[in-house]
Amino acid sequence: MTATTLAGAEAGLTQGPGAARSPQAIFAAARDREGSLSQLLMTFISTGLLFMVFPGTFLGVWNLLQISGRESVASVSGTWIEAHGHAQIFGWVGTFILGIGFYSIPKLRGGAASYFRAAWICWVMWTVGVALRWLANVYMWAWRALLPVSALLELIAFVIFFLQVAQHRPGRGTKSRFEPWIVVVASASVGLLLTLLTNLAGCVYVAIRGVSPAFPHVFDQRYLALAAWGFLVPFVWGFSAKWMTVFLGLRPFRPRVLLAAVALNLCGIVLTVAGYTAAGACFFPVSTSLAVVALRMFEPAVNPAKVRGVHPSFPWFVRMAYGWLLVAASLGWAAVRWDSSGGIWGASRHALTVGFVAVMILSVGQRILPAFAGMRLLWSSRLMFAGLGLLTLGCTLRVCCEVIAYQGYGSWAWSVLPVSALSELGGLTLFAVNILGTFILEPSHAHKESVVFAMPAKLS
């Protein structure tokens, strides 16, 4: 871990009246700001973990147990299924993204009291919004009022975050144009904004005209496509472009190919949302293949992988996640042609959200979050491997058996689905335990540094 330059520290910490300060005062202020940022990050991450395990995964397991026991997806309320999905996408992944974003922005531009105030307000509004949505869907208490309120709170929280991000400009001595990976992440941010706007529109509609909190089926299918391919997938592509060259020891990624993948992915989203699902589904396998080529994900490494402090299987799981994305895109294409019961569609979404997104979070998250949270070490690399192993096993069983059971190819597959759910619950629980154990039990080493840390330096 290396320190940023003294000039960089002075530029970020000596603004306004009384800017002339001693190096000792600058270093002390830098440490204080780093501590405040780490505390902010750990609060966001801990909140995301709570949504992941309880409202998200536990409810998802319960839903699948009910479906498997009765051998029918219609046996579970659509509102409960949507409550599970919302808690996972926004309560877990969304909270993680906001927390990491707020932590990273001051590394690119100066921090201030107003910045932290905005971040904490965002956390409160986002957390309350996601919690209200879960309560409205599960308990159906005052849901006609709570649904629009929850969606509006989430949207306002993201706007607060977005306004902070929008103030960033490349610093002096850097290129005036944004790097390609930032363009990809920016496109994902726009995708998240559109997803939240669509969510608000859907909540207002069902609050006025619906008979339950569940979205209409056709609307929900297009909304899920927007959330998955417009928000989740580009975010992972962008941060993969930023980190995987170093983490996996790969050659530099191919920027033009990655931007072409994003463009094709956008075409697929537009067609799908417009109602041309069959045409849109053809774009996703192509865009995914281009992204894999652009990131050199399956090419041989030219440098040793950065596995210090994590389990040596880390590079293998990252590559496997991209394999799951290819499976998800292919199953989506197949679902348009052969799905008769929702099984292939469900398997496609599960391969994307769990096989791709969740495996990437469990892999990369345990690589970067300890460093971000005050330069800690991961509590247990063995727990990391066990969690990823259980999650992968559960996802494999779920994707395979969901197609077999729902499509009526074999009744035996219904009895395997609960095993897949419990395996995934075990894997995600171990991840939560490992991260919380890192935050609580591992000492912070930030005080040993002479000045603030740059994010790229931490990850190298």
Report the C-alpha gap between 192 and 189 in whole angstroms.
Answer: 5
The CATH homologous superfamily for domain 25-459 is Cytochrome c oxidase-like, subunit I domain (1.20.210.10)
3-state secondary structure of 115: helix
The pTM of this model reads 0.89
The token pair at 74 is: 């219609």
Phi-psi domain of 84 (left: phi exceeds 0; alpha: psi -120 through 50; beta: other): alpha
Query: What per-residue confidence (pLDDT) applies to 1?
Result: 37
Instruction: Kindly report the number of other CB atoms within 10 A of residue 357's CB atom.
Output: 24
Report the C-alpha gap between 372 and 390 in whole angstroms.
Answer: 26
Query: What per-residue confidence (pLDDT) applies to 459?
Result: 47
Query: What per-residue confidence (pLDDT) applies to 10?
Result: 39
Q: What angle do CA 28, 33, 38 make, to 5 degrees?
A: 125
Q: How far are the Cα atoms of 116, 129, 155, 206, 252 from residue 214, in angstroms, in the given order?
A: 36, 17, 19, 7, 45
Which residues on adjacent β-strands are paired with residue 3? 453
Q: Which residues of the chain have pLDDT under 50?
A: 1-19, 108-110, 176, 450-460
Query: What per-residue confidence (pLDDT) applies to 440?
Result: 95
Among 364, 419, 417, 369, CA closest to 388? 364
Report the C-alpha gap between 187 and 154 in whole angstroms.
Answer: 19
Domain boundary assignment for the chain: 25-459
Query: Using the 8-state DSSP alphabet, how is residue 352 labeled?
Result: I
**pLDDT of 40-67, one tens digit each?**
999 999 999 999 998 888 888 888 888 8
Which residues on adjacent β-strands are paired with residue 453? 3
Q: How far are the Cα atoms of 21, 63, 215 from residue 80, in angstroms, in the given order?
A: 56, 7, 11
CB neighbour list of residue 442: distance below 8 Å, 6 or more residues apart: 370, 376, 377, 378, 379
Q: 249-272 burial string, b = 16+ CB within 10 Å, else e?
A: bbeebbeeebbbbbebbbbbbebb
Query: What per-residue confidence (pLDDT) applies to 446?
Result: 64
Query: What per-residue confidence (pLDDT) applies to 42?
Result: 96
Report the C-alpha gap between 294 and 228 in whole angstroms.
Answer: 20
Query: What per-residue confidence (pLDDT) applies to 426?
Result: 96
Q: For the chain, how far is it from start to end, CA to CA, in angstroms?
A: 7
Query: What per-residue confidence (pLDDT) applies to 12?
Result: 42
